[in-house]
Amino acid sequence: MPVPSSGLTFSSDDKTATVQVSNAPIIDQPRWPAMDAESTPAFLDFKLVFKATDEPVKYENAVQQYRFEGFKASAQLEATIRVPSIDFTFKTDPLEASKCDFAVMGNEVNGKYYEAAQGPL
């Protein structure tokens, strides 16, 4: 989903990134991935915070033409979902209470930019 530039902010050292989105239109689709799964309009607010560690990572595949260079990271999320038509809302616990198993942050080049971008990103 497109995010206004104000929705993504970085700390002064670029080691922390915060994504904040309000009222993103989503769908509530209980029977997905059934072909005839009905959907209901819903809305999502979320705040997502990445914090980079000092452990570098580099993932590159010349055949698939992508290169990612960055750092392992932590990520935490808090969110609220609203499904107005059935008067349902769900709010996660505060950001600090969430955990995730894998996170990285850095820079990527792929496709037509892959060959052109040699050296550190």
Partner 1 sequence: MGRKQNQISNLISNLELDRRRWLKLGVTSAVAASLPGMLLRAQAAPQACSAPIPQKHEPSNGGSCPYPIPWLDKNGNHNQIPMPNVELCSIYHFKGKLARCNGFHGMGTDNHGNRLAWGTPSTDYSYMAGEYWAARQVHQAVFAHT
Tell me which residues touch partner 1 (CB under 8 A): 1-5, 7-8, 17, 19, 21, 24-30, 32-33, 39, 42, 44, 46, 48, 50, 57, 59, 61, 64, 66, 68, 70, 73, 75, 77, 79, 81, 83, 86-93, 97-113, 117, 121
Alpha carbon distance 60, 7 (integer Å): 28
Question: From the CB of 102, what's the least distance to partner 1, in Å?
Answer: 5
The DSSP bridge partners found for residue 56 are: 71
58, containing H or E segment: strand 40-61
Identify residue 52 by its one-letter amino acid code: A
- State the nearest-atom distance from the C-beta of 39 to partner 1, in Å: 8
